[in-house]
Structure 1
Amino acid sequence: MVAFLRLALRRIAMLPVMVLGIALLVFLVMQFSPVDPAYNALGDSASPEARAAFEEEQGLNDPLPMRYVAFVADLLKGDLGMTLPPGQPVTDRIVTALPLTIQLTLLALSLGLVLALVLGIAGAVYRDRWPDQLTRLLSMAGVAIPPFWLGVLLIQQFSLNIDLLPTGGYTNPADSFSDWLKSMALPAVSLAIPLATSLARLIRTSMVAELDRDYVRTARGNGLPESLVIRSVLRNSLITPLTVLGVRVGYLLSGAVVIEAIFDLPGMGKLILEGVTGSDTGLVQGTVITIALTFLAVNVVVDLLCLLVNPRIRTV
């Protein structure tokens, strides 16, 4: 436990440095954007004096390091700036949109993990037999299908052909849980299947390597139940899949941006699309940095899960 706490504190201590790095990257990208903030905010009819006053008020004439320090200070206070007129706090827009993206990501992640464990364990236990061959085939097919194309196919089949699920839109779970589940089913499946099939291959490969170890043969020779053996093997095989999962959650978040646009979900994807199409740099900057920080937090959680699952890496 002491070793776990020491490593956990080490991971958490790196968070401020990584947050500053993410903030710097996003800040620089947006600062060198060809979009003119004064032109966007005031319009092309504004006088040069009005634009100069706007730039002075927003600190756009300050040196780049000073603007970065001000940006980080506002970020620490939860202030991500204002959208274009009619101005709204970017934070308020994100607070409204982020829960939906988190719901979609968690639902897709849960479904993807269940499918990955079923396919991966079946492929490893029935190695080189028909369940393994079927698992490999499904994995290759799932990895090759882009989520957005899969989403379109699901809409064609389950919404247009048999009218079982809605083509898009969102229902708050507080209003109707069943309608919420229907509205999230197709988007979640679109994200979950590529995740599940890629993780299933890793789980299957890791378990096959683990099943060939001496301790497994010894356990079976001593008459331990096969379910207990498989459970131990699975626990020792999850380090690589869990590590990759941290990266895959980032893909889920980025994929959710496209999927939300396809299914007309008012999440972070819609905010990014609104910011890009409207040249609203403040909105784009706020949504991008929020997604990046969420991805960072998920990776820290995955690191801690790896430490919990396999005590052997606590000595690293």
Structure 2
Amino acid sequence: MARVLPMLIRRLLILIPLILGIIAFVFIVMQFAPTDPATAAFNGGNPTAEQLQQFKEENGLLDPLPLQYVHFVTDLVSGNMGDSLISGTPVLDSISTALPLTIQLTVLGLVIAIVLSLIFGVTSALFRDRWPDQVIRVISLGGVAAPSFWLALLMIQYLAVQLGWFPTGGYVNPSDSVTDWLWYMALPALSLSLPVAAQLTRIIRTSMVEELDKDYVRTAIGSGLPYHVVIGRNVLRNALINPLTVLGLRVGYLLGGAVVIEQIFGLPGMGQLMINGVTNGDPAVVQGVVIVIAVGFVVVNLAVDILYLLVNPRLRSAA
């Protein structure tokens, strides 16, 4: 662990300029938004030129862009993301209300994707070039090509509308009823996770096949070790090292896909919050949501990198 610690510290230090770069990128892009914050603040009224000028002076919109960025970063560090121009509520309060639902959807989708990919990836590798392998490969290829929003619409049409097995939308807090929460979150999580599960299935199958062809597997089986022990204790553990590198990127896909899925199923998460901010011309809300999602993506990838470093003995020795 002492060898790994300096590398972990370096990874953590890299986060600082990376997050500052993300904040700068979001800030610059929002400057090109077609909506004028001063005009949007009057919520469809007809402000005079003097009123617009006064609003810009009071909110620092006439300051040079570098100074506005410094104020923006300073406010973020102090936990202030500004106020909504439409409702007047702090953006941080809106995000703290919407973020837990997006996290629930992302985590549930990730769990489903990992479970499905492990089952089908390992099965496909163990039955290599036989009919289970062929069927799983065809299904996974179709899953990779199918976008999550299209799967969501199909599930609503057949599983919710025609069969009535699931609700078409809505949300129940897990603190009220875990069963109802799972019932309402099933279709959103499935539609979000299936493309990720298909991609991970192909990666796990490839890694498993590579491990099964190595000499240590034949030696272990030839020495009398049970086949299931060799697969579970050695092959599977070694084969899962490479898929970990992809898992971080797939979590980012889940976070981004949740924005669309939440809108389709009417879930009051970060996606709906951002869409409302764009529709109403509320730049503070859009900035806050994009920054939180982007920083969350970076932090998750860092966590996956650290996990990959800890489970890979070759990287530990190289450190």
Provide the TM-score with structure 1 as the length reference.
Answer: 0.97
* 2-structure distance, mates of 1:226, 1:87: 64
* 2-structure distance, mates of 1:283, 1:187: 24
Q: Map 1:223-234 onto structure 2 (within 5 A).
A: 223-231=224-232, 232-234=234-236
* 1-structure distance, mates of 2:113, 2:65: 43
* 2-structure distance, mates of 1:8, 1:2: 10
* 2-structure distance, mates of 1:97, 1:241: 30
Q: How many residues align?
A: 316
- Cα distance per residue 1:106-147 (max 9 Å; x no partner): 000001100000111111111111111111011011111111
Q: Map 1:200-215 onto structure 2 (within 5 A).
A: 200-215=201-216
Of stretches 216-225 and 295-304 in structure 1, the one that deviates more from structure 2 is: 216-225
**TM-superposed deviation, 1:34:** 2.4
* 2-structure distance, mates of 1:237, 1:3: 24
CA contact (8 A) 2:277 2:285 kept: yes
Aligned to 1:39: 39
**TM-superposed deviation, 1:212:** 1.3
**TM-superposed deviation, 1:6:** 2.3
Aligned to 2:293: 291
Q: Map 1:256-295 onto structure 2 (within 5 A).
A: 256-295=258-297
SS in 2 for 1:33: coil
Of stretches 184-193 and 13-22 in structure 1, the one that deviates more from structure 2 is: 13-22
Aligned to 1:183: 184
* 2-structure distance, mates of 1:204, 1:79: 46
The amino acid of 1:309's aligned partner reads V
Structure 1: 4+ residue segments shifted above 4 A: none
The amino acid of 1:20's aligned partner reads L
Aligned to 2:118: 117
- Cα distance per residue 1:162-191 (max 9 Å; x no partner): 211111000011111111111100000001
Unaligned stretches of 5+ residues in structure 1: none
CA contact (8 A) 1:148 1:190 kept: yes
* 2-structure distance, mates of 1:31, 1:10: 33
CA contact (8 A) 1:101 1:267 kept: yes
Provide the TM-score with structure 2 as the length reference.
Answer: 0.96
**TM-superposed deviation, 1:44:** 5.0
CA contact (8 A) 2:192 2:254 kept: yes
Of stretches 97-106 and 3-12 in structure 1, the one that deviates more from structure 2 is: 3-12
Identity of aligned residues (%): 57
**TM-superposed deviation, 1:222:** 1.5
* 1-structure distance, mates of 2:109, 2:48: 50
Of stretches 224-233 and 241-250 in structure 1, the one that deviates more from structure 2 is: 224-233
1:67 aligns with 2:68: yes
* 1-structure distance, mates of 2:132, 2:163: 30
Unaligned stretches of 5+ residues in structure 2: none
* 1-structure distance, mates of 2:235, 2:263: 41
CA contact (8 A) 1:203 1:238 kept: yes
* 1-structure distance, mates of 2:119, 2:181: 26
CA contact (8 A) 2:37 2:85 kept: no
CA contact (8 A) 1:117 1:200 kept: yes
1:14 aligns with 2:17: no
* 2-structure distance, mates of 1:52, 1:209: 66
Aligned to 1:168: 169
* 1-structure distance, mates of 2:108, 2:12: 26
- Cα distance per residue 1:55-110 (max 9 Å; x no partner): 11111111111111111111111211111233110000000000000000000000
SS in 2 for 1:227: helix
CA contact (8 A) 2:95 2:270 kept: yes
SS in 1 for 2:63: coil
RMSD: 1.2
The amino acid of 1:283's aligned partner reads V
